Amino acid sequence: MKNIVKNVTSLLDKTELFVANNPVGVESRVQEIVQLLEQKQSKDVLLLGVWGMGGIGKTTIAKAIYNKIGRNFQGRSFLADIREVWGQEAGHVCLQQQLLFDIQKEHNTKIHNIE
């Protein structure tokens, strides 16, 4: 019974990411992106890139979008600080394992090679 509860809880884990205490101007930008994504109804994988100079709120907006639409997906992952992790030894493998864990909710997936 404990294993069943643990499995169901991990599958239903839909916790939200912390965005900001007082996010000014975030909601209108989130709505714009959500509307763009809704126009692109598809069963295909969709990649959303956010770029710009540092400190302008890219991560804050990305987290807010993730919180807003993430529940619509069977599997989801938010990989933060990719550039920093990628540059570390075994960072490539770490990011791949984190992505697979977030989506599949299984700890036993091991990646030994980035290829």
pTM: 0.72
The tokens describing 44, both together, are 């295909």
Least Cα distance to 15 among 100, 77, 58, 61 occurs for 77
pLDDT score of 2: 79
The length of the chain is 115
One pLDDT digit (tens) per residue for the chain, 115 residues: 877 876 676 566 667 888 888 888 889 999 998 888 887 677 777 777 788 898 888 889 999 998 888 877 777 888 888 888 988 888 888 888 888 888 887 777 777 777 7
Each domain of the chain, given as residue ranges in start order, spans 2-73, 77-115
Residues contacting 5, CB < 8 A, separation 6+: none
pLDDT score of 64: 92
